[in-house]
């Protein structure tokens, strides 16, 4: 595969974003996760999520903004597109499909789903509604959907469910960064493997 100067510049920009992202405080401990889900006639559906600092979540989302937001100049979407165009018909295409699936479906959606008032909690669209309605933007319709979920679950539990789903996005971002390193920073590829392996700790 051939990469021109413009491709390499974008890949280097993406890697710089990921270098900043991996320094987030939230990675120094256990990444927030859904620990248990119970359902009974008396209480309905209840969730137990691991403890986390919302301040650490805000820092993570700030550092992840250039990666998560598709219109950013070196987003996950644009970086994946560079490889996607060049990987057609190669073995790399299947690996890119896996990275994409991890980014969009995370660690929970492939295994189970829980809906509240018809809204699937473990779904990329609902996660994006949280990001665009509450955290990154304030789109009114999406913010109202999240407010309704918070009313049903509590703000802390709903937030914990959303944050836990970021593990798949972050891990996929680091897997894509490994590919970018092989192309843009071949001399540091071994170090990238260490980062990619560390990202596996985000799995639930």
3-class secondary structure, 135: helix
Q: Does 156 fall in a domain?
A: yes
3-class secondary structure, 49: strand
Q: Does 145 fall in a domain?
A: yes
Burial of 69 (C-beta count, 10 Å sphere; 0-12/13-18/19+): middle
Look up the pTM and report it.
0.88
What number of other Cβ atoms are within 10 A of residue 144's Cβ?
12
- Per-residue pLDDT tens, the chain, 204 aa: give them: 899 999 999 999 999 999 999 999 999 999 999 999 998 888 888 999 999 999 999 999 999 999 999 999 999 999 999 999 999 989 999 999 999 999 999 999 999 999 999 999 999 999 999 999 999 999 999 999 999 999 999 999 999 999 999 999 999 999 999 999 999 999 886 655 455 455 555 654
Q: Specify whether the CB–CB gap between 162 and 130 falls below 8 A.
A: yes
Residue 75 sits at φ, ψ, to 5 deg, of -75, 170
Bridge-based pairing of strands 44-49 and 34-40 is antiparallel
Q: Does 185 fall in a domain?
A: yes
| Structural domains in the chain (count) | 1
The residues, ordered by sequence, that sit 6+ positions from 8 with a Cβ below 8 Å of its Cβ are 183, 184
Nearest to 66 by CA among 77, 58, 55: 77
Q: Does 56 fall in a domain?
A: yes
Domain region containing 134: 5-198
The residues, ordered by sequence, that sit 6+ positions from 41 with a Cβ below 8 Å of its Cβ are none
Residue 24 pLDDT: 98
Q: Does 109 fall in a domain?
A: yes
Q: Does 204 fall in a domain?
A: no
Residue 204 pLDDT: 43
Residue 106 sits at φ, ψ, to 5 deg, of 65, -155
- How far, in Å, CA of 132 to CA of 71, rounded? 13
The residues, ordered by sequence, that sit 6+ positions from 76 with a Cβ below 8 Å of its Cβ are 14, 67, 68, 70, 103, 169, 172, 173, 176
- How far, in Å, CA of 45 to CA of 141, rounded? 25
Q: Does 203 fall in a domain?
A: no
Q: Specify whether the CB–CB gap between 45 and 39 falls below 8 A.
A: yes
């Amino acid at each position: 595969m051939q990469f021109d100067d413009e491709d390499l510049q974008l890949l280097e920009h993406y890697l710089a974003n990921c270098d900043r992202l991996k320094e987030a405080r939230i990675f120094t401990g256990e990444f927030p996760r859904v620990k248990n889900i119970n359902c009974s006639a008396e209480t309905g559906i209840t969730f137990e999520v691991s403890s986390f600092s919302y301040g650490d979540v805000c820092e993570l989302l700030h550092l992840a903004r250039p990666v998560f937001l598709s219109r950013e100049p070196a987003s996950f979407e644009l970086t994946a597109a560079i490889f996607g165009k060049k990987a057609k018909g190669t073995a790399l295409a299947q690996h890119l499909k896996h990275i994409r699936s991890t980014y969009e479906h995370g660690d929970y959606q492939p295994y189970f789903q829980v809906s509240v008032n018809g809204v699937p909690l473990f779904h990329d669209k609902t996660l994006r509604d949280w990001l665009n309605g509450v955290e990154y933007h304030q789109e009114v319709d999406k913010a109202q959907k999240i407010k309704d979920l918070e009313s049903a679950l509590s703000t802390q539990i709903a937030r914990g469910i959303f944050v836990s789903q970021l593990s798949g996005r972050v891990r996929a971002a680091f897997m894509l960064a490994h590919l970018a390193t092989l192309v843009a920073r071949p001399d540091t590829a071994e170090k990238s493997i260490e980062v990619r392996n560390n990202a596996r700790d985000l799995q639930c």
